[in-house]
């Protein structure tokens, strides 16, 4: 299939304007006749549901948490980027566009990235108007901080809770529409399937997580804003319920899945300390402004950190990347940590961490100053580990964090299924092979507030005469039946291992073979191992309880069943990309100094995978060639 | 570590619940409280018993989904800490730990340790927002907000909506939750137009949901993971009186 990204004509700065000028509209009187389903209430989902509600469409909003306000956007700490140039330090939409494109290692579409930077200006205006309490200077104007990979200060923040505050702003906008009855809320509902009728997305099947009831919902268009699926690695910075099920089920109904293996592994999270562990908590990237990263020069050194003399410490980021030092981008910092850990220099009881040391900063600036900047993070560190990081270095370690991959979408954020849109982290769009810090709160919000309301209207314009979509259609009945069967199958297995057992095994395989570094041999092995694990899962998993009650184990089982399929596709994706770019590092393709070696001649494309019809067949690769008309790809160097 | 657990088990909204005893060996002091419950569930699953349902999601103290009453305290023995951030090193080997759901008239139990907090959503939808549509916003820096006001607004806005304030209050009052949102929006310049209606409507909704009255015991502030101050409640009372007076005058 030929993929058409539908990028508008014209110079970069005029593409989005041109689109908006010519997009079709729906008359206000007709809007209430049109139904839109939005799955997800993070920044992307809440903002699009609220915006469509304000315009007068009939919206249904779904999330699996017990209220929209708990979507995982809530956990973002650091901040959100916008090219406001309030610091007068030479920032501009164009500069932000170039930074993002370069940060993504030239594996994203120019037109999309430019639009992201362009709409960043409106987002800050909108959030401030909603009452989001961003950090301010004493004169009352908005303040900014810096983030990794750029040389300007364009990051807006609300202490260490930027995601929470942005999310509450959009949640409140959503609840206002709920009050006005333009949006109906379905919390504690999980999407199980997409319903496609005559090649258009026409509805979804959901499970009411309290009663277990399987429900049908129909609409003229369906929006998936279901977030990232990094939880596939089991240990990650994501929430326990984050999943890939919604987009995976849509994939199996015909939506292409782009770059599934591009996962950002964040360098500064807390290390795993035991088998019981369920989550790796993120420590903000901002700590790397003052913390120095090191490991003992001697392998297998078991001395206490503070007893290791200065000359026996290896500050490996400063050594390898003198220009950026401890602030080298995420993919590079994580890889460098893994290299040291694998070489036997890891620290901590499981030898899986590196030190993040503040002693120099404390000596130079005083403890009070460091406490003022990072006090909440030091407190959090102590709460979790019981260790005082003013006295001894923190132990940190890389953790799966963000999915650059997701459903393939065109410039309108529409998938390969007409009427099915994907927004926020659930799509692959703007970050290329590596996302810059503070760009994804932005992307999720911009998709929902400023892009999708136009592009969905453009799609709905010819749906006015369609009339109500009925859930009596045989496709709905079929989907309900299939999903009930799937659930009952899981409950019938009654094997001897818990769902978590399989999830942990899968996570370990992916970390080892489709994580920070990959090889053809390892990926081939992992594909076979994951397939075996899947077989064993269907023979030996134990899912307790019934289908018609609240049943957390059953929810997990459904998600892990999908993960076991997604994991295989991730490995195929990594295996077929014979180059290294951004977070995708194939050991066979590196420079003499051990840096990523991109191959623009053969791999300047987005891999968009097509469901082949069954698990027995190999997934089908489609390519969207990337054209660089405005910026020429260069080699990323942070030396 | 070995623990004796007494956990509230209740099949659904209508069923009668009861406390059930469990013993858990090999508890690691570095585990979080929720990881201890995971371990118990793993053991129950191995024994083909039904695991305990409990609420949780982000496990880093910000989503507000987790929350149980531990030995009589909402979110357990530590002040200003969510259940997910509580670690087993706070407990002693051989200790008996009583685990119950958040209890309040406004929070019906759904199953085991999970409760229905949708009343909070309805309080917000009664007025806890600024009425600005997408696209209507003026340039961000055209509304300066002093550093002090922005910081104070943040302090109120930091609420995670977990409901520990309600669970810990002997009257089951939602005053801290409601007042935090009223205060945040009352002190910011963005939404003075709706200030009166917001206070009256949100308070009316809070009462309608069956939450009790605030009798100033200040227990809520102690358990609040974000340390939201009871001064917000004083502010809410002021906003209520102000709005009632101005309404009466008109
Ligand atoms: C710890 C952490 C810190 C971060 N810090 C930053 C930062 O500082 N700056 C930055 O820019 N980015 C940051 N990010 C990334 C950023 O937060 C996310 O990419 C972004 O918030 C995603 O928003 P979203 O709306 O796409 O998805 P989410 O906010 O994850 O929302 C997903 C929604 O989909 C729903 N859902 C999912 N599956 C289903 C289903 N099957 N059925 C029904 N509903 C479903 C969920 O209930 C939820 O409502 C961080 C991420 C993490 C994990």
pLDDT of residue A194: 98
Contact assessment for residue A263 and residue A402, using Cβ atoms and an 8 Å cutoff:
yes
Q: Is A115 on the interface with B (CB under 8 A)?
A: no
pLDDT tens digit sequence for A508-560: 999 999 999 999 999 999 999 999 999 999 999 999 999 999 999 999 999 99
Which residue's CA lies nearest to atom 5 of ligand 1?
A76
Q: Which residue of B has its CA nearest to A72?
A: B58
Q: What are phi and psi of B223, to 5 degrees?
A: -85, -15
Q: What are phi and psi of A521, to 5 degrees?
A: -65, -45
More confident residue, A196 or A325: A196
Which one of B28, B84, B140, B156 would you mutate to disrupt binding with A, by most A Cβ within 10 Å of its Cβ? Answer: B140
pLDDT tens digit sequence for A431-456: 999 999 899 999 999 999 999 999 99
Contact assessment for residue A80 and residue A441, using Cβ atoms and an 8 Å cutoff:
yes
Q: Which residues of B touch A131 (CB under 8 A)?
A: 130, 153, 157, 184-185, 188, 190-191
Q: Give me ligand 1 centre to Cα B181, in Å.
A: 23
The answer to whether the CB of A270 is under 6 A from ligand 1 is no
Which residue's CA lies nearest to atom 50 of ligand 1?
A76
Q: Which of A95, A330, A435, A636 is catalytic?
A: A330
* CA-based nearest distance B42→chain A, Å: 7
Rounded to 10 deg, the angle between the A552-576 and A499-513 helix axes is 20
The partner residue sitting opposite B65, judged by closest CB among A70, A386, A500, is A70
Task: Tell me whether strands B114-115 and B109-111 are parallel, antiparallel or unpaired.
Answer: antiparallel
Q: Give me ligand 1 centre to Cα B212, in Å.
A: 35
Contact assessment for residue A541 and residue A495, using Cβ atoms and an 8 Å cutoff:
yes
Atom of ligand 1 nearest to the CA of A281: 1
- Binned at pLDDT 50, 70 and 90, residue A635 comes out as confident
Contact assessment for residue A599 and residue A579, using Cβ atoms and an 8 Å cutoff:
yes
d(C-alpha B213, C-alpha B237), whole Å: 12
* CA-based nearest distance A357→chain B, Å: 22
CA-to-CA separations, A121 to A388, A449, B138, in angstroms, rounded: 40, 12, 11
Q: Is A171 on the interface with B (CB under 8 A)?
A: yes
Rounded to 10 deg, the angle between the B147-157 and A162-179 helix axes is 70
Q: What are phi and psi of A625, to 5 degrees?
A: -65, 140
Region(s) of chain B under CATH 1.10.1060.10: 118-246
pTM beyond 0.95: yes
- In the CATH scheme, what is the code of domain A474-605? 1.20.58.100
pLDDT of residue B249: 63
* CA-based nearest distance A611→chain B, Å: 31
The full DSSP string for A119-180 is: HHHHHHHHHHHTT----B-TTSSBP-B--TT-SS--EE-STT-HHHHHHHHHHHHHHHHHHT
Task: Tell me whether strands A257-258 and A406-407 are parallel, antiparallel or unpaired.
Answer: antiparallel
pLDDT tens digit sequence for A108-166: 999 999 999 999 999 999 999 999 999 999 999 999 987 766 788 899 999 889 999 99
How many CB atoms are closer than 10 A to CB B17? 15
d(C-alpha B57, C-alpha B72), whole Å: 23
d(C-alpha A621, C-alpha A612), whole Å: 10
d(C-alpha A511, C-alpha A557), whole Å: 21
User: Does the CA dihedral B53-B59-B64-B68 come out positive or negative?
Assistant: positive
Task: Tell me whether strands A313-314 and A292-296 are parallel, antiparallel or unpaired.
Answer: antiparallel
pLDDT tens digit sequence for A16-56: 999 999 999 999 999 999 999 999 999 999 999 999 999 99
d(C-alpha A257, C-alpha A565), whole Å: 13
Shared fold status for A267-399 and A474-605: no
Mean pLDDT confidence for A249-278: 95
pLDDT tens digit sequence for A473-514: 999 999 999 999 999 999 999 999 999 999 999 999 999 999
- CB contact under 8 Å between B81 and A69, yes or no, is no
d(C-alpha B30, C-alpha A389), whole Å: 17
Q: What are phi and psi of A156, to 5 degrees?
A: -90, 145
Specify which residues A46 forms β-bridges with. Answer: none
End-to-end CA distance of chain B: 66
Q: Which residue of B has its CA nearest to A157?
A: B154
The answer to whether the CB of A121 is under 6 A from ligand 1 is no
Which candidate, A639, A632, A508, A608, places its Cα nearest to that of A251? A608
Answer yes or no: is the ipTM higher than 0.90. Answer: yes
The tally of CA atoms less than 13 A away on the side-chain side of residue B143 is 22
pLDDT of residue A327: 84
Contact assessment for residue A238 and residue A76, using Cβ atoms and an 8 Å cutoff:
no
Q: Which residue has the tokens 């694998």?
A: A342
The answer to whether the CB of A444 is under 6 A from ligand 1 is yes
* Average pLDDT of every residue of chain A: 95
pLDDT tens digit sequence for A76-90: 988 999 999 999 999
User: Does the CA dihedral A292-A297-A302-A306 come out positive or negative?
Assistant: negative
Q: Which residue of B has its CA nearest to A134?
A: B150
Q: Give me ligand 1 centre to Cα A239, in Å.
A: 9
Q: What are phi and psi of A73, to 5 degrees?
A: -55, -25
Q: Is A68 on the interface with B (CB under 8 A)?
A: yes
β-sheet with A221-224: strand ranges across:
A183-186, A58-62, A35-39, A221-224, A420-422
* CA-based nearest distance B31→chain A, Å: 7
pLDDT tens digit sequence for A285-323: 888 889 999 999 999 999 999 999 999 999 999 999 998
d(C-alpha A81, C-alpha A184), whole Å: 31
Rg, Å, chain B Cα set: 20
Which one of A177, A240, A266, A549 would you mutate to disrupt binding with B, by most B Cβ within 10 Å of its Cβ? Answer: A240
Task: Tell me whether strands B3-9 and B96-100 are parallel, antiparallel or unpaired.
Answer: parallel
Pick the CATH number of A267-399 from 3.40.605.10, 3.90.700.10, 1.10.10.10, 3.40.50.11890: 3.90.700.10
d(C-alpha A583, C-alpha A570), whole Å: 13
Which residue's CA lies nearest to atom 4 of ligand 1?
A76
Atom of ligand 1 nearest to the CA of A238: 53
Query: What number of residues does chain A have?
Result: 639
Q: Give me ligand 1 centre to Cα A122, in Å.
A: 21
The answer to whether the CB of A42 is under 6 A from ligand 1 is yes
pLDDT tens digit sequence for A161-193: 999 999 999 999 999 999 999 999 999 999 999
Mutate to test the pocket of ligand 1, among A226, A428, A561 (most ligand atoms within 8 A of CB): A226
Contact assessment for residue A581 and residue A590, using Cβ atoms and an 8 Å cutoff:
no
pLDDT of residue A289: 83
* CA-based nearest distance B208→chain A, Å: 15
CATH 1.25.40.10 fits B3-110, yes or no: no
- CB contact under 8 Å between B147 and A136, yes or no, is yes
pLDDT of residue B248: 64
A to B CB pairs, distance under 8 Å: 219
pLDDT of residue B250: 53
Mutate to test the pocket of ligand 1, among A227, A247, A402 (most ligand atoms within 8 A of CB): A227
- In the CATH scheme, what is the code of domain B118-246? 1.10.1060.10
Please give the sequence-ordered ranges of beta strands (E in DSSP) within A25-94, or none if there are none: 35-39, 58-62, 80-81
End-to-end CA distance of chain A: 41
Which candidate, B180, B167, B161, places its Cα nearest to that of B58? B161
- CB contact under 8 Å between B50 and A544, yes or no, is yes
Which residue's CA lies nearest to atom 2 of ligand 1?
A76
Q: Burial level of A510, CB count in 10 A (0-12/13-18/19+)?
A: buried
Q: Give me ligand 1 centre to Cα B222, in Å.
A: 30
| CB contact burial A544-582 (16+ within 10 A = b; e otherwise) | bbebebbbbbbbbbbbbbbbbbbbbbbbbbbbebebbbb
Tell me the domain boundaries of chain A.
267-399, 474-605
The encoded tokens of residue B228 equal 């939201």
Rounded to 10 deg, the angle between the B175-187 and B231-249 helix axes is 70
Specify the range with the lowest mean pLDDT, choosing from A22-36, A278-292, A340-354, A401-415: A278-292
pLDDT of residue A383: 86
The answer to whether the CB of A161 is under 6 A from ligand 1 is no
Q: Give me ligand 1 centre to Cα A297, in Å.
A: 38
The encoded tokens of residue B7 equal 């956990």
Q: How far is CA A614 from the centre of its chain?
A: 27
The answer to whether the CB of A441 is under 6 A from ligand 1 is yes
Q: Burial level of A63, CB count in 10 A (0-12/13-18/19+)?
A: buried
| B59: alpha, beta or left? (left if phi > 0; alpha if psi -120 to 50) | left
Query: Does A330 participate in catalysis according to the annotation?
Result: yes
Which candidate, A584, A593, A578, A587, places its Cα nearest to that of A637? A593
What residues contact residue A592 under an 8 Å CB cut-off, 6+ apart?
none
The partner residue sitting opposite A67, judged by closest CB among B44, B53, B121, is B121
pLDDT (tens place) for every residue of chain B, 250 residues total? 999 999 999 999 999 999 999 999 999 999 999 999 999 999 999 999 999 999 999 999 999 999 999 999 999 999 999 999 999 999 999 999 999 999 999 999 999 999 999 999 999 999 999 999 999 999 999 999 999 999 999 999 999 999 999 999 999 999 999 999 999 999 999 989 999 999 999 999 999 999 999 999 999 999 999 999 999 999 999 999 999 998 766 5
- CB contact under 8 Å between A175 and B48, yes or no, is no
Q: Which residue has the tokens 């799937």?
A: A486
User: Can you tell me whether residue A299 is helix, strand or coil?
Assistant: coil
The answer to whether the CB of A160 is under 6 A from ligand 1 is no
Mean pLDDT confidence for A461-475: 96
The full DSSP string for B179-211 is: HHHHHHHHHSGGGGGGHHHHHHHHHHHHHHTT-
Q: Which residue of B has its CA nearest to A68?
A: B121
What residues contact residue B46 under an 8 Å CB cut-off, 6+ apart?
A496, A498
* CA-based nearest distance B162→chain A, Å: 10
Residue A449 DSSP symbol: I
d(C-alpha A491, C-alpha A635), whole Å: 52
The answer to whether the CB of A337 is under 6 A from ligand 1 is no
Q: How far is CA A175 from the centre of its chain?
A: 25
Q: Give me ligand 1 centre to Cα A541, in Å.
A: 29
């Amino acid at each position: 299939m030929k993929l058409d990204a539908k990028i508008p004509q014209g110079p970069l700065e005029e593409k989005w304007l041109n689109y908006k000028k010519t997009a079709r509209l729906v008359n206000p009187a007709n809007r209430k006749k049109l139904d839109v389903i939005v799955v997800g209430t993070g920044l992307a989902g809440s903002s699009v549901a609220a915006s469509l509600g304000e315009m007068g469409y009939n919206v249904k909003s779904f999330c699996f948490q017990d209220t929209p306000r708990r979507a995982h956007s809530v956990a973002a700490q650091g901040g959100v980027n916008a090219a406001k140039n309030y610091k007068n330090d030479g920032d501009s939409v164009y500069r932000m566009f170039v930074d993002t494109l370069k940060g993504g290692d030239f594996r994203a579409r120019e037109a999309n990235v430019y639009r992201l930077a362009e709409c960043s200006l409106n987002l800050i205006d909108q959030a401030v108007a909603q009452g989001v309490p961003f950090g301010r200077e004493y004169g009352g104007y908005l303040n900014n901080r810096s983030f990794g990979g750029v040389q300007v200060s364009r990051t807006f923040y609300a202490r260490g809770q930027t995601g929470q505050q942005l999310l509450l702003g959009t949640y409140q906008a959503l609840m206002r529409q709920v009050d006005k009855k333009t949006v109906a809320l379905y919390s504690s509902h999980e999407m199980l399937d997409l319903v496609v009728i005559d090649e258009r997305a026409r509805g979804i099947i959901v499970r009411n997580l309290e009663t277990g009831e399987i429900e049908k919902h129909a609409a003229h268009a369906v929006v998936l804003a279901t977030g990232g699926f990094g939880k596939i690695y089991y240990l990650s910075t994501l929430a326990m319920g984050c999943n890939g099920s919604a987009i995976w089920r849509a994939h199996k109904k015909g939506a292409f899945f782009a770059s599934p293996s591009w996962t950002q592994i964040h360098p500064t999270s807390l290390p795993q300390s035991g088998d019981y562990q369920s989550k790796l908590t993120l420590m903000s990237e901002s700590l790397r402004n003052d913390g120095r990263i090191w490991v003992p020069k001697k392998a297998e050194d078991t001395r206490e950190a503070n007893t290791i003399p200065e000359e026996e410490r290896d500050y490996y980021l400063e050594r390898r990347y003198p220009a950026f030092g401890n602030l080298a981008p995420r993919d590079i910092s994580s890889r460098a940590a893994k290299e040291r850990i694998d070489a036997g220099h890891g620290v901590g009881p499981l030898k899986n961490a590196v030190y993040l040391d503040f002693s120099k900063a404390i000596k130079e600036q005083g403890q009070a100053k460091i406490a003022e900047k990072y006090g909440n993070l030091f407190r959090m560190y102590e709460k979790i580990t019981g260790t005082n990081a003013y006295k001894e270095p923190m132990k940190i370690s890389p953790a799966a964090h963000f999915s650059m991959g997701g459903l393939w979408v065109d410039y309108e954020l529409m998938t390969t299924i007409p009427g099915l849109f994907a927004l926020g982290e659930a799509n692959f769009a703007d970050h290329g092979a590596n996302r810059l810090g503070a760009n994804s709160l932005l992307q999720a919000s911009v998709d929902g507030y400023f892009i999708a309301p136009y592009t969905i209207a453009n799609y709905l314009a010819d749906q006015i005469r369609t009339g109500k979509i009925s859930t009596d259609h045989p496709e709905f009945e079929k989907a309900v039946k299939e999903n009930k069967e799937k659930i009952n199958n899981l409950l019938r297995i009654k094997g001897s291992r818990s769902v978590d057992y399989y999830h942990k095994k899968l996570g370990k395989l992916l970390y080892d073979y489709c994580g920070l570094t990959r090889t053809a041999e390892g990926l081939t092995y992992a594909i076979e191992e994951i397939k075996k694990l899947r077989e064993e899962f269907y023979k030996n998993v134990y899912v307790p309880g019934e289908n018609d009650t609240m049943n957390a184990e059953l929810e997990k089982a459904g998600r892990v069943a999908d993960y076991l399929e997604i994991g295989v596709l991730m490995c195929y994706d990594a295996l077929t990309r014979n180059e290294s770019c951004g977070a995708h590092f194939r050991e066979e393709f590196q420079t003499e100094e051990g840096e990523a070696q991109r191959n623009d001649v053969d791999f300047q494309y987005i891999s968009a995978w097509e469901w082949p019809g069954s698990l027995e067949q190999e997934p089908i690769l489609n390519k969207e060639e990337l054209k660089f008309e405005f910026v020429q790809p260069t080699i990323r160097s942070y030396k | 570590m070995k623990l004796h657990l007494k956990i509230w088990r209740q099949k659904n909204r209508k069923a009668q619940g009861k406390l059930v005893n469990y013993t858990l060996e090999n508890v690691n002091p570095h585990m979080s409280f929720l990881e201890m419950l995971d371990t118990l569930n793993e053991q129950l699953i191995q024994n083909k018993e039904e695991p305990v349902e409990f609420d949780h999601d982000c496990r880093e103290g910000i989503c507000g989904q987790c929350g149980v009453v531990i030995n009589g305290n909402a979110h357990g023995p530590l002040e200003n800490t969510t259940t997910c951030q509580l670690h087993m090193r706070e407990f002693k080997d051989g200790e008996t730990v009583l685990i119950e759901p958040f209890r309040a008239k406004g929070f019906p139990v759904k199953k085991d340790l999970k409760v229905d907090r949708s009343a909070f959503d309805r309080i917000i939808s009664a007025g806890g927002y600024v009425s600005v549509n997408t696209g209507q916003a003026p340039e961000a820096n055209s509304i300066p907000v002093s550093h002090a006001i922005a910081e104070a607004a943040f302090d109120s806005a930091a609420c995670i909506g977990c409901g520990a304030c309600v669970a810990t209050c002997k009257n089951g009052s939602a005053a801290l939750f409601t007042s935090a949102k009223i205060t945040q929006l009352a002190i910011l310049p963005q939404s003075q137009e709706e200030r009166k209606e917001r206070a009256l409507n949100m308070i009316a909704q809070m009462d309608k949901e069956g939450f009790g009255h605030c009798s100033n015991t200040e227990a809520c502030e102690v358990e609040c993971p974000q340390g939201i101050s009871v001064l917000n409640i004083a502010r809410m009372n002021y906003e209520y009186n102000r709005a009632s007076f101005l309404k009466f005058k008109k």
